[in-house]
Structure 1
Amino acid sequence: MKYILLALSFIALNAHAIIIRHDVKDTNYLAKPDDFPALATFYIDGAHGILFSSKWIITAAHTTFCLTSGTKIKMSKGSATVKRLHIHPNHTPGISHDIALVELLEDAAHVPPATLYTRNDESGLPIWFIGIGGTGNGNTGITTDNYENKGVLRKAQNRVEEAKGPILTFKFDKDEDALPLEGISGGGDSGGPAFIKTERGYQLLGISSRYGGGPSEKYGSFEVYSRVSYFVPWIREVMNKPDKAVSSGVSLDKLKYLPGGLKPSDLPALCPDILFSHNELSK
């Protein structure tokens, strides 16, 4: 239990929990795996990635601290096995380039992937978030953390406030400025998607990264996502030559900086506590 609680602080460090409108029932925000089938989950208390090709998952770099070759992760249907990590070499915690690719050992052919959004017109677009992070509302802030949430999946709406360089920014609006299911994502939802659904399927615009300022966990707070369109050239470069990406410096196979004071010596005890067991993966 000590290490599960420790993990909570690391997973939730960069962003806060999914917070919903105070004037809309929580049940309206509840989601099903089919609402975004490409969602992957790394740990029992959260942290996500998105399948965007049969053997590739994209996520926030800071979520990957327990992922190594052979790690099993949960998919919307079944599971997948990590072959190798590709972390952006310019990842700077709390600042920028919080993005990584998880190369899978085998095709996840049983899961329909999302597609990467490549246009640079994201500003003002209405999007969806989804994840198993904790919850609360815009007046109270977080009242249930991601461990207490026990894997309940929620989705929320928002609108891209700003698209600039490698970052998308979202604001938690209220009253007449809010969307019907307005909310923000956060701890336990790190690495999760900002997405739209079109005639061509689900398109991925951003990856949940960190809290961006304003009243923490309440109306008026900001959320920062890694901007997928900005990183498409890097993503393609890694995918074109994955066996040479690490040796050539295009990617890193592990984090240079562990999140929030976590030390390498913590991982052998921490990771088995929070990674999915065989029984949990088969549920």
Structure 2
Amino acid sequence: MAALAYGKLSIEQKITIAGIVLVIVVLVGSLMFNIITDFVESGNGPEFGYRLDVEPELYEDLGANRYPYNSGTQYPSFSSTVAIEGACISDPEYVCGGSGVIISSRWILTAAHVVEMLDLDETYVAVGSDYENAEAWYTAGAFYIHPSWGGVDEELPLGFDIALVELSEHISGVYPSSWANQDDIDDSLLGATIFISGYGDYSDYEESYCDSACLDDGGEYYTQRRAWSNTLDRILELPAKADGNDLMELRGGHLVYDFDSPDENNNPLTSGNLGFNFFTGQDYSYAGGGDSSPNPQPLEGIGVPGDSGGPIFAKIGTKWTVIGITSHGSVTSDYGSVSFNTRISVHAEWICSISSSLKPISGCNQS
């Protein structure tokens, strides 16, 4: 009989066990909800960077500042957004490239991972809303990659994906964009409406990413400049990069936003989310804590391959200012994807270290 006593539980023990089981059920249920939400949010849709309930041509109209998206109080000018194209170092028979933004008459700001794969002698910059029918082409004269950048495989989460392209001649007919040239100038922009532009690859070919969301502009490839809006969900300044026993003084930074769906059910950066998408394999835990509104912008979107290096605009005071450049995110680029973008203000000192009296960069004080 004594042996049977060990199999009996008191009422207090039963209550305790029931409580533990309930907690486990809640935790498992929460985990499963997040997993199911991730499945619904990502990898399932053909949206690929733009809202399916909006005509895709409107994103082109915004990128070209066609009516009713004329530049001014409500919308920035996207004319400074350029296409960067050149022969791939890995295979000169192929073309590599991305996007960038004019910040001075001879200077283009872009992503490090865009220029590191380009042959300098065969790299060109196109001005205009359609780079297949560009208004002008300019030759690249030099690349300046951030010294803390160590390549896509290791450095993307650290916020050093930034580079400058020096042109061989001055650009004419396009006003350079103002940029965040102070390290604290964008601190108060959390929750602000932002606009992003670039020359994303929506061409329909065998290895394209866009699937049923591919676009056709009548040319051999899709070559339009597009723009979209979003809400700035995170502003991050990251610790200085550790390099062996030395701690470099230069710090990285990200601006982060997500792609909310029209039904407001896709909001991965909301408070308490897991920070990892099981079905796309995207880890966005390094976006840090915070919250995010589920309400999409009228032309809500997110970057796709080809948009890398393109600018993020926000209004600082009364002036539209480039505060970031597109860096990386989920390949699927559908509802629920998260976009990480290099924060420019934390790199203002490095940008201005490249400037000189002979080759000045607007926004830098020349000695």
TM-score, reference length from structure 1? 0.69
CA contact (8 A) 1:67 1:82 kept: no
CA contact (8 A) 2:82 2:198 kept: no
The one of 139, 144, 147 equivalent to 2:214 is 144
CA pair 182-81 structure 1, distance change in 2 beyond 3 A: same
1:58 aligns with 2:128: no
Aligned to 2:124: 72
- Provide the aligned C-alpha RMSD in A: 3.0
1:1-283 paired onto structure 2 within 5 Å? 19-31=49-61, 32-34=63-65, 35-43=77-85, 47-64=98-115, 65-69=117-121, 71-76=123-128, 77-92=135-150, 93=152, 94-95=156-157, 96-117=159-180, 118=182, 119=185, 120-135=187-202, 143-144=213-214, 150-165=222-237, 166-175=253-262, 176=264, 177-196=295-314, 202-211=320-329, 216-240=332-356
Amino acid at match of 1:143: A
CA pair 223-141 structure 1, distance change in 2 beyond 3 A: farther
SS of 1:19's equivalent in the other structure is coil
Aligned counterparts of 2:107 and 2:348: Cα–Cα separation in 1:
13
CA contact (8 A) 1:45 1:133 kept: no
Amino acid at match of 1:126: T
CA contact (8 A) 1:45 1:150 kept: no
Task: Answer with 1 or 2: which has the greater Rg.
Answer: 2
Cα deviation, residue 217, structure 1: 2.1
Cα deviation, residue 42, structure 1: 1.2
Amino acid at match of 1:59: T
Deviations 1:157-187 (A, max 9, x none): 1111101011111100123510111110120
CA pair 109-67 structure 1, distance change in 2 beyond 3 A: farther
Aligned counterparts of 1:66 and 1:46: Cα–Cα separation in 2:
7
SS of 1:184's equivalent in the other structure is coil
Cα deviation, residue 115, structure 1: 0.8
Identity, in percent, stands at 29
Deviations 1:135-160 (A, max 9, x none): 59xxx987328998510232111111
CA contact (8 A) 1:210 1:224 kept: yes
Deviations 1:219-272 (A, max 9, x none): 1110010001111111011113899xxxxxxxxxxxxxxxxxxxxxxxxxxxxx
SS of 1:68's equivalent in the other structure is strand
CA pair 54-200 structure 1, distance change in 2 beyond 3 A: farther
Aligned counterparts of 1:152 and 1:45: Cα–Cα separation in 2:
16
Cα deviation, residue 196, structure 1: 3.2
SS of 2:233's equivalent in the other structure is strand
**Moved runs in structure 1, 4+ residues, more than 6 A?**
145-148
Q: Which has the higher strand share?
A: 1
Amino acid at match of 2:214: T
Which structure has the higher relative contact order (CA within 8 Å, separation 6+)? 1
5+ residue gaps, structure 2, are: 1-46, 66-76, 86-94, 129-134, 204-209, 238-252, 265-294, 360-367
CA pair 157-38 structure 1, distance change in 2 beyond 3 A: same
Aligned counterparts of 1:179 and 1:129: Cα–Cα separation in 2:
12
CA pair 46-153 structure 1, distance change in 2 beyond 3 A: farther
TM-score, reference length from structure 2? 0.54
Deviations 1:200-223 (A, max 9, x none): 65411111110169xx42211100
CA pair 33-27 structure 1, distance change in 2 beyond 3 A: closer
Deviations 1:18-60 (A, max 9, x none): 6111221212222354541111111277511100011111000
Aligned length: 222
Amino acid at match of 1:107: H
CA pair 202-106 structure 1, distance change in 2 beyond 3 A: farther
